[in-house]
Amino acid sequence: MKVKEFDSYRAPRRKPWGAIVAVLLLGAGTYWFFIREKPERPPRQEREAAVSSVADPSGAETIAAGETAPVPANVSMLMDTAAQLASAQKFVEARASYLEALRHTDDPSLRRQIEGKLATVNITLLLSPRPMPEKVDYVVKRGDSLGLIASRFGTTSELIQNNNMISNPNLIKIGDRLRVFTGKFELVANKTTHDMVVLMNGEFFKRYKVGTGVFGKTPVGTFVVREKIPEPTWWPPDGREVPFGHPDNILGKRWMSVRATGDTPDVRGYGIHGTWQPESVGKASSAGCLRMINAEVEELFTYIPVGTPLRIDE
């Protein structure tokens, strides 16, 4: 057999399918990586916000920094309704709607927001001749005075004057028809938060900031308002008499002394009073009393009667 020379050898004629497939795959990969349209990348701020609002490992949603928790739909609807009613001067209905909103949320920030609006409505109703379910009509009888009527209904003569636009309490006469408040108040103060909540018939009425005793000197327990004195004189421990309005008189414009009740140890010299130093309210600043801004203690003095219960918590 004749052997062919190596240089003259030719391979069989076959098409290069492997190379063709490789080229096609390389082209497709290049298109996929470089040429195809990519989704637009969000701005950096949006990316960071998205990261900060990702749910935490426990499954609870984390609110992005600077954001507030959304208001539940039912609470938002109640608040909007109340605002519209108040704008239309339908204050009794507005109060009911705000109270209902309070019952449907435990969020502290949202509750404070609702409380502020509700307090405005409550004071508007209380300190005016406007009707409310807690007010009744009373016809003045022989021997009546504002003090006697107030005592009979458990309210204050100052509030009766407000409710009936009486400028001179000594000029009421037999047959006069008066609008008299009959609701019952109670006070709950807290030494940690330095505030005092007023409840009316067991429901929120208003919240006031108060100054409490330095080094925890304000006593805790249950008390009642014992005495009310406008424009009080102050007798400090050294026995001096400091008249109302004197810079050294720490009692401000109003004084309401308290006495202990129940198992609370007896206390003397404690009460609720105003101050000429409003910046001292809202922190531990007093010798043990509950200290209020003058304008606010005047307001409270108007409608809180003697005998109103007070509870002071740590």
pLDDT at position 312 is 98
| CATH tag, 135-181 | 3.10.350.10
pLDDT at position 23 is 46
- pLDDT 10s digits, 43-100: 444 434 433 333 343 333 444 545 567 889 999 999 999 999 999 999 999 999 999 9
| pLDDT higher than threshold 90 for residue 202 | yes
| pLDDT higher than threshold 70 for residue 289 | yes
pLDDT at position 247 is 85
pLDDT at position 276 is 93
* CA dist., res. 249 & res. 245, Å (int): 7
For residues 18 and 282, the model is more confident at 282
Q: 310 CB contacts (<8 Å, ≥6 apart)? A: 186, 187, 188, 189, 222, 223, 224, 225, 258, 272
- Residues 254, 230: contact at Cβ < 8 Å? yes
pLDDT bin (cut points 50, 70, 90) of residue 26 is: low
| pLDDT higher than threshold 90 for residue 36 | no
pLDDT at position 12 is 42
pLDDT at position 155 is 98
pLDDT bin (cut points 50, 70, 90) of residue 238 is: confident
Q: Give the gyration radius of the chain's Cα atoms.
A: 37
- Lowest-confidence range among 19-28, 93-102, 174-183? 19-28
pLDDT bin (cut points 50, 70, 90) of residue 239 is: confident
Q: At 262, list the tokens.
A: 């129940």
pLDDT bin (cut points 50, 70, 90) of residue 27 is: low
* CA dist., res. 97 & res. 79, Å (int): 7
Of the candidates 177, 153, 152, 150, the one whose C-alpha atom is nearest the C-alpha of residue 302 is: 150
Name the pTM for this structure.
Answer: 0.78
- pLDDT 10s digits, 206-233: 999 999 999 999 999 999 999 999 999 9
Mean pLDDT for all residues in the chain: 85
CATH number among 3.30.930.10, 2.40.440.10, 3.30.1300.10, 2.20.25.240, domain 185-313: 2.40.440.10
- Lowest-confidence range among 69-73, 95-99, 201-205, 267-271? 69-73
Write down the domain spans for the chain.
Answer: 73-126, 135-181, 185-313
